[in-house]
């Protein structure tokens, strides 16, 4: 991690801020001159909002290729082309490739407030974004706009946003290399797998347990150990997952109840590896299942009416919903009909690979207080399980 201490100059006339947030500055430089400078030393945008009320010229980020953990100074350039009547605030969402949500939240109130911006003058608006120590992508995309309360000032040009009134402002390249995606080699089944929640070695050989799970943001190993193993035959996938758990919680009993609000072990499968269409399958310590299908991208078009053809069994090592005792964990075994997974090529054959991920949601009541922990085989690095870019590879072998 490095600390940014220097200021950046944009041309001879435009001083850009250091990392500490400074009051907005009214510039005497003409808007088109600032835009021309942005074309050579920043990220130009030139988009209007609110029926040509405000013009967003673009931004400058320093350092230009930050490292994970850096403080990044962002300077935006606005022009009020008509008087603004509300004290709008600026929002800045920073997205990583394939992630739903932002890495850093840069909302702030410009000083002076936008309703006092002089018409026709360029406003230099400065703030700092602190990047996490782990990032899931080699570039970050900025979405920018003005809002008050729950309403965003509309972006005029449809091409300039994605239907959400967030200006697609541009990208910031990130130095360094994202952590590699893991790969699991699943061998072909040799013996009958009995679904009883007990992962008998003679049944599950020659598969091996995966490496331990990492916290979702990727900064350290999970406190509660979890792992999975996978087998296959021409028609089915067999998945076993086990986890430590000192306080087993499971009050829901109907399929597709939101078991993720309590505790769950989860499988995500992207059968065509297109990072758009995938399924999610969860099981609670009470063997209550939740499954859903998504199409068109992360979290898009969720269909809970979809039911994968699956049999499952759970072994709970402890007592459910008794916070006064100490439990040990639970194990889930799944037998999944491959033909019920949309997009998966069947019959299954050696050499096939799909994108996949495995997650653990833990919510425990202990003598030290309540604890919540989310962990993953391939950490999404930003707290959102639906970051398809970070799924690992599940490959079938002989």
Query: Per-residue pLDDT for the chain (398 aa), expressed as one digit of tens each?
Result: 444 333 333 433 333 333 344 556 899 999 999 999 999 999 999 999 999 999 999 999 999 889 888 899 999 999 999 999 999 999 999 887 645 444 667 899 998 899 999 999 999 999 998 887 777 677 888 999 999 999 999 999 999 999 999 999 999 998 877 778 999 999 999 999 999 999 999 999 999 999 999 998 777 899 999 999 999 999 999 999 999 999 999 999 999 999 999 999 999 999 999 999 999 999 999 999 999 999 998 899 999 999 999 999 999 999 999 988 999 999 999 999 999 999 999 999 999 999 999 999 999 886 667 889 999 999 987 768 998 988 999 999 99
Please answer whether residues 115 and 87 qualify as being in contact, where contact means their C-beta atoms are separated by less than 8 angstroms: yes
Residue 2 lies in a domain: no
137 lies in the same domain as 210: no
Measured distance CA(205)–CA(64) in Å, rounded: 50
Tokens of 153: 């000032």
Number of domains observed in the structure of the chain:
2
Name the residue among 352, 315, 387 with its Cα closest to residue 237: 352
Which range of residues forms the domain containing residue 242? 183-397
List, for residues 378-392, the tens digit of each pLDDT value. 998 776 899 898 899
Same domain, 137 and 26: yes
Q: Note whether residue 140 is domain-resident.
A: yes
Residues 145 and 197 in one domain: no
pLDDT value at residue 306: 97
Kind plus residue range of the DSSP H or E element containing 31 = helix 31-41
The 3-state DSSP class for residue 186 equals strand
> Are 157 and 187 found together in one domain?
no
Asked if residue 258 and residue 115 are part of one domain, the reply reads no
Task: Verify that 36 and 66 share a domain, yes or no.
Answer: yes
Whole-number pLDDT of residue 97: 60
**37/12 Cα distance (integer angstroms):** 10
Same domain, 129 and 48: yes
The reply to whether 202 and 167 lie within a common domain is no
Same domain, 153 and 130: yes
Q: What is the tens place of the pLDDT at every residue in 57-111?
A: 999 999 988 988 889 999 999 999 999 999 999 999 988 764 544 466 789 999 8
Among 141, 173, 205, which residue terminates a domain? 173
DSSP state of 37: H
What's 69's domain CATH number?
Answer: 2.60.40.10
Domain-located, residue 82? yes
Q: Where are the alpha helices (DSSP H) in 271-313?
A: none
């Amino acid at each position: 991690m490095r600390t940014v201490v220097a200021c950046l100059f944009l041309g001879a006339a435009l001083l850009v801020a250091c990392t500490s947030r400074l009051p907005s500055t009214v510039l005497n430089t003409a808007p088109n001159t600032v835009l021309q400078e942005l074309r050579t030393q920043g990220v130009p945008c030139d988009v209007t909002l609110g029926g040509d009320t405000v013009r967003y010229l673009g931004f400058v980020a320093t350092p230009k290729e930050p490292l994970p953990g850096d403080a990044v100074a962002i300077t935006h350039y606005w022009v009020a082309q008509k008087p603004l009547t509300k004290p709008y605030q600026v929002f800045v969402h920073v997205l990583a490739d394939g992630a739903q949500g932002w890495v850093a939240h840069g909302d702030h109130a410009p000083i002076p407030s936008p309703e006092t911006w002089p018409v026709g003058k360029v406003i230099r608006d400065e703030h700092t974004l602190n990047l996490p120590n782990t990032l899931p992508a080699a570039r970050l995309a900025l979405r920018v706009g003005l809002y008050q309360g729950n309403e965003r000032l509309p972006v005029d040009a449809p091409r300039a946003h994605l239907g959400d009134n967030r200006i697609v402002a541009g990208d910031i390249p990130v130095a360094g290399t994202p952590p590699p995606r893991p790969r699991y080699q699943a061998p072909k089944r040799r013996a009958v797998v009995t679904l009883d929640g007990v992962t008998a070695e003679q049944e599950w050989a020659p598969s091996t347990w995966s490496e331990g799970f990492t916290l979702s943001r990727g900064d350290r190993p999970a406190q509660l150990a979890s792992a999975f193993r996978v087998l296959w035959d021409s028609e089915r996938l067999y998945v076993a997952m086990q986890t430590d758990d000192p306080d087993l919680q499971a009050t829901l009993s109907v399929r597709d109840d939101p078991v993720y609000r309590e505790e769950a072990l989860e499988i995500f499968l992207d059968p065509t590896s297109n990072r758009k269409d995938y399924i999610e399958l969860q099981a609670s310590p009470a063997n209550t299942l939740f499954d859903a299908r998504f199409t068109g991208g992360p979290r898009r078009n969720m269909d809970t009416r979809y039911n994968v053809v699956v049999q499952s069994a759970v072994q709970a090592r402890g007592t459910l919903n008794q916070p006064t005792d100490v439990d040990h964990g639970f194990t889930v075994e799944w037998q999944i009909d491959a033909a019920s997974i949309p997009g998966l090529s069947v019959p299954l054959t050696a050499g096939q690979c799909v994108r996949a991920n495995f997650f653990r949601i833990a919510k425990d009541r202990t003598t030290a207080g309540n604890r919540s922990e989310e962990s993953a085989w391939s950490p999404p690095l930003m707290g959102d399980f639906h970051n398809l870019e970070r799924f690992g590879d599940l490959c079938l072998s002989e």
